[in-house]
Amino acid sequence: MNENPKFAVIGGGSWATAIAKMLCHNLDEVAWYMRNSSAIEEIKLNKHNPNYLSAVEFDTNQLLLTDDINQAVSYADYIVFAVPSAFLGKEMQKLNVDISNKVVISAIKGIIPESNSIVGEYFMETYNIPQENIAVIAGPCHAEEVALERLSYLTIASGDLAKAEVIANCLKSHYIKAKVSDDIIGTEYASMLKNIYAVACGMAHGLGYGDNFQALLMSNAIREMKKFIKKVHKMKRNINDSAYLGDLLVTGYSLFSRNRMFGNMIGKGYTVKSAQMEMNMIAEGYYATKSAYDMNLELKAKTPIINAVYDILYNGKEPKKVFKKLTEKLD
């Protein structure tokens, strides 16, 4: 294993900015690709990402900033992808460098819509990345709290625990704790599913349901998540670990959660399109809902919460009526 690993971050949003900040604590140089060349010039000039987490100040001598994805990928041994799942395919079309010998790290909390697959599966199937070279960054960890240097926790999952340790050590700091896991499939599905449940929690809040019901909703959500993941990949895992339950709770309850915010707007009467237009960030839970629902047509796990969110977002059903029926199915 390279004693001085080289990292590249792919993406220009809040989570990409937070990861670049974490890596800069431990590495002399980090490659950072973003497609917005004007944002790159702004960072070079003022040391801040102008669009996301603008309070974070960077030492630009540590950053190899580029709007050429091939330059960033060629530089790195470890590539962290932190772009919305719906846009990953479009970004990858620009790539003409072989990445089959790179370590690919997914910081994407969603499903690739073109293939209906988690990010790790997408890279294995499309770019011939061996499974031991795939890793996942899971929470509970909001980018906004990283910016504020509030104590946060990460789980790095990989089939190769030695690589997971390298990644964890490059992300750790006085405010970031990081542990490793070998449940790469379970953690990635949990990262996707928790966004759907956060949308549901937001919908409940927007509809006027109180804390008592939202606690019940999250209690049912973790059990539903366990059933779904067990159908996908059966192995011994503790669903109460922070990568599953912890990440679910922070995404469902935090005011920083874009998925909760999106759901709240839907609950208050916004259409899907109007809610998406008003938000400046992508709510991954919207895309994840369709992917999980479609997958479950074959898996046949019992998922009343996912079904309810799907009916509202994709079948245009009235949130108030759907949630009234959902309350009868939860315990």
Catalytic residues: 194
Distance CA 34, CA 16 (A): 9
**CA nearest 153: which of 70, 265, 241?**
241
Q: How far is CA 285 from the centre of its chain?
A: 10
From 89, 105, 111, select the one nearest 20 (Cα to Cα).
105
Give the DSSP H or E segment for 161.
helix 161-171
Under 8 Å between Cβ of 47 and 54:
no
Cα–Cα distance for residue pair 13/327, rounded to 1 Å: 36
Alpha-carbon gap, residue 8 to 30, rounded angstroms: 6
Widest distance between CA atoms in the chain? 58
Structure tokens at 184: 């790469």
Residue 122 CA from chain centroid, whole number: 15
- CA torsion sign for 230, 232, 237, 242 is negative
For the chain, the first-to-last Cα distance in angstroms comes to: 49
Rounded-to-integer distance, Cα 50 and Cα 331, Å: 45
Rounded distance between C-alpha atoms, residue 268 and residue 227, angstroms: 30
